[in-house]
Amino acid sequence: MSENRSDAPLREDIRQLGGLLGSTIHEQSGEHVYQTVEEIRGLAKEARAGDTEAARALEERLGELPDELIVPVVRAFSQFLNLANIAEQHHRVRRSRAWVRDTETGPLRGSLEEFFKRMKPTGNGEDLHAVIANLDIELVLTAHPTEVMRRSLLQKYNHIAELLDQGDRLDPTPEEIEEVHQSLKREITAAWETDEIRRRRPAPQDEARWGLAVIEQTLWDVVPHFLRRLDRILQRQTGKPLALDAAPIHFGSWMGGDRDGNPRVTATVTREVCLLNRWKAVELYEKELDELIEELSLQCASDELRAWVGDAWEPYRTALKAVRDRLLATRHWLESRLAGRRPAEGLIYWRTEDLREPLMICYRSLHESGAGVVAEGRLKDLLRRLSVFGLTLMRVDIRQESTRHTDALDAVTQALGIGSYADWDEAERQRFLIRELDNRRPLIPHDFEADEDVTEVLDTCRVIAEMGSDSLGAYVISMASKPSDILAVKLLQKEAGVTSSLRVVPLFETLADLQGAQACLEQLIEIDWYREHIDGIQEVMIGYSDSGKDASHLTAAWALYQTQEELVETARRHGIRLTLFHGRGGSIGRGGGPTHAAILSQPPGSVNGRLRVTEQGEVIQAKFGLPGIAERNLELYITAVAEATLVPPKPPENDWREIMDQLAENSCDVYRNMVRETPEFIEYFRHATPEHEISHLAIGSRPARRKPTQGVESLRAIPWIFAWTQTRLLLPAWLGAGSALAKGLESGHRDALHHMYEAWPFFRAFIDMMEMVLAKSDPAVAAWYDARLVPESLRGLGEGLRARHEETRQAVLAVSEHDNPLDEAPVVQRSVGVRNPYVDPLNLLQVELLDRVRHGHEEDLREALMICINGIAAGMRNTG
Active-site annotation, residues = 144, 549
Q: Is 63 left (phi over 0), alpha (psi -120 to 50) or beta?
A: alpha
**Which one-letter DSSP state was computed for residue 258?**
B
Torsion angle of C-alpha atoms 125, 643, 624, 10, degrees rounded to 10: -100
Residues sharing a CB contact under 8 Å with residue 658, sequence separation 6 or more, in sequence order: none
- Please tell me what DSSP assigns to residue 705: B
Contacts of 226 (CB under 8 A, 6+ apart): 631, 634, 635
CA distances from 361 to 309, 315, 320 (A): 11, 11, 11
Overall residue count recorded for the chain in this entry: 880
144 and 210 Cβ atoms separated by less than 8 Å: no
User: Cα–Cα distance between 356 and 327 in angstroms, integer?
Assistant: 12
- β-strand partners of 142: 616
Beta-bridged to residue 578, according to DSSP, are: 538
Q: How far apart are the first and last CA of the chain?
A: 36
Would you give the distance in Å from CA 806 to the centre of its chain? 30
617 and 142 in contact (C-beta within 8 Å)?
Answer: yes
Q: What angle do CA 808, 546, 571 make, to 5 degrees?
A: 105
Give the C-alpha distances (Å, rounded to integers) separating 571 from 288, 524, 576, 676: 43, 11, 5, 36
SS3 of 180, please? helix
Q: Which DSSP letter does residue 50 get? A: T
* 407: CB partners within 8 A, 6+ apart: 422, 453, 454, 457
Contacts for 719 with CB less than 8 Å, ≥ 6 apart: 145, 146, 691, 694, 695, 704, 880
Which one-letter DSSP state was computed for residue 748? I
3-state secondary structure of 9: helix
Q: Which residues contact 672 (CB under 8 A, 6 or more apart)?
A: 551, 552
Express the helix, strand and coil content of the chain in percent, nearest 5 each.
Answer: 70, 5, 25
CA gap 791, 804 in Å, rounded: 21
Q: Phi and psi at residue 750, in whole multiples of 5°?
A: -55, -50
Q: Is the dihedral of CA 754, 756, 759, 763 positive or negative?
A: negative
Q: Where are the beta strands (DSSP E) in 689-793?
A: none
> Over the range 217-230, which residues count as b (16 or more CB within 10 Å of their CB) and which as e?
bbbbebbbebbbeb
**Beta-bridge partner residues of 396:** 253, 472
- CB distance 605 to 566 below 8 Å: no
Q: Where are the alpha helices (DSSP H) in 647-700?
A: 654-675, 681-688, 691-694
Q: Are 78 and 867 in contact (CB under 8 A)?
A: yes
Torsion sign over Cα 263, 269, 274, 278:
negative
Smallest Cα–Cα separation from 333: which of 359, 325, 268, 205?
325
How far apart CA 272 and CA 205 sit, in angstroms, is 8
| Alpha helices by DSSP H, 339-401 | 352-368, 372-374, 380-389
DSSP 652: P
Measured at the CA of 636, the angle between CA 518 and CA 586, to 5 degrees, comes to 65
